[in-house]
Chain A
Amino acid sequence: MGIIVRLDRVMADRKMPLNELSERVGISIVNLSNLKTGKVKAIRFSTLSKICKELKCQPGDILEYAEDYDEEKEEDH
């Protein structure tokens, strides 16, 4: 799958720490951290919507498609 999660970049732009976003969105720090590092398989629309609301951004700012991106290779490194 060639989806890259750019949550860390958006969070850095908004100067939003992980624990604060976790509290605002209502998901655990562990799950949010997994999402940030691209370790999750799927994201619910409800979660994406809450993150976009809190970070005042569009889904496209958080998720990016790259044709030659190999997620499994990325995890191995």
Chain B
Amino acid sequence: MNDQSSTLKIKRYSRNLRIAMTIFFWVAILATIVSSIATIIMASLSDSHFVLNSTSIGHAGFSLDGLIKYQLKDTSLIGTNMKSIYIAISIMAAVISFFAIPVLRQIVLILKSVEDDKPFAKENAKRISAISSTLILSSFAIPATKAFVARALVDILKIQNVSINYSINITLLLTGFMMFILSGVFRYGCYLQQEYDETV
């Protein structure tokens, strides 16, 4: 009885989480499309649309590391062409949301299988393995796009005494390796489930 109620609880959590993940999945698709279109549109627009003028100075700002916010209040920046910065930011947004799509899709399918009482299936081991590959790949690609944005900012805004540091995202990399181990655990769980199902 206790097992049954905990199973029902897990199923309920899975359902709620799946709904949330499905929403995030569609948001990620939308974000990829929007940022890709934005990149193309910005690339085709003339440079005059991106030149900083006296009204935009003071309102615009950026944050490179999420900790320090830089305000563009320097009047010497008037006339600077921000096109490359905006394009770099939209490329970064497209890359990050693009990597989120397969991860979220696989999570939705795994949660669906939990709801259907079939968590230990070969497909789930493959899905976790796919998540692992995506995370490992993104641990290199996402910092690269961030470095690309930082390079554009430093070059265009002529920020002095700043160097761009590229380092892989250790958290994503370790999570990717953990998921790879988890896929092996699921493969073994699938074998045990099959043995259990074929025993009367």
Which residues of A approach B to under 8 Å, CB–CB?
27, 31-32, 34-35, 40-44, 47
CA of A27 to CA of B199 in the docked complex: distance in angstroms? 11
Report B-chain residues with C-beta under 8 Å of the C-beta of A27. Answer: 200
Which residues of B approach A to under 8 Å, CB–CB?
195, 198-200
Report B-chain residues with C-beta under 8 Å of the C-beta of A40. Answer: 198-200
CA of A4 to CA of B192 in the docked complex: distance in angstroms? 24
Q: Is the interface of A mostly helix, strand, loop or mixed?
A: mixed
Identity of the chain B residue whose Cβ is nearest the Cβ of A51 in the assembled complex? B200
CA of A33 to CA of B200 in the docked complex: distance in angstroms? 10
Additional pairs, 9, CB under 8 Å, beyond known A27-B200, A32-B200, A42-B199: A31-B200, A34-B200, A40-B198, A40-B199, A40-B200, A41-B198, A42-B195, A42-B200, A47-B200
Identity of the chain B residue whose Cβ is nearest the Cβ of A25 in the assembled complex? B200
Report A-chain residues with C-beta under 8 Å of the C-beta of B200. Answer: 27, 31-32, 34-35, 40, 42-44, 47
Question: Can you name 6 A-B pairs with beta carbons within 8 Å?
Answer: A27-B200, A41-B199, A42-B200, A43-B199, A44-B199, A47-B200
Chain B CB within 10 Å — which of A35, A41, A47 has the most? A41
Q: How far is the CB of B190 from chain A (nearest CB, A)?
A: 15
Chain A CB within 10 Å — which of B195, B198, B199, B200 has the most? B200
CA of A34 to CA of B47 in the docked complex: distance in angstroms? 74
Report B-chain residues with C-beta under 8 Å of the C-beta of A34. Answer: 200
Identity of the chain B residue whose Cβ is nearest the Cβ of A47 in the assembled complex? B200
CA of A2 to CA of B89 in the docked complex: distance in angstroms? 67
Q: Which 8 A-B pairs have the closest CB atoms?
A: A41-B198, A42-B199, A31-B200, A35-B200, A40-B200, A47-B200, A40-B198, A43-B200
Report A-chain residues with C-beta under 8 Å of the C-beta of B195. Answer: 41-42
CA of A40 to CA of B195 in the docked complex: distance in angstroms? 9
Report B-chain residues with C-beta under 8 Å of the C-beta of A47. Answer: 200
CA of A41 to CA of B195 in the docked complex: distance in angstroms? 7
Q: How far is the CB of B117 from chain A (nearest CB, A)?
A: 16
Report B-chain residues with C-beta under 8 Å of the C-beta of A31. Answer: 200
Q: How far is the CB of B147 from chain A (nearest CB, A)?
A: 54
Q: How far is the CB of A15 from chain B (nearest CB, A)?
A: 22
Q: How far is the CB of A77 from chain B (nearest CB, A)?
A: 20
Q: How far is the CB of B198 from chain A (nearest CB, A)?
A: 4
Q: How far is the CB of A66 from chain B (nearest CB, A)?
A: 21
Report A-chain residues with C-beta under 8 Å of the C-beta of B199. Answer: 40-44
Q: How far is the CB of B199 from chain A (nearest CB, A)?
A: 4
Identity of the chain B residue whose Cβ is nearest the Cβ of A28 in the assembled complex? B200
Identity of the chain B residue whose Cβ is nearest the Cβ of A43 in the assembled complex? B200
Identity of the chain B residue whose Cβ is nearest the Cβ of A42 in the assembled complex? B199
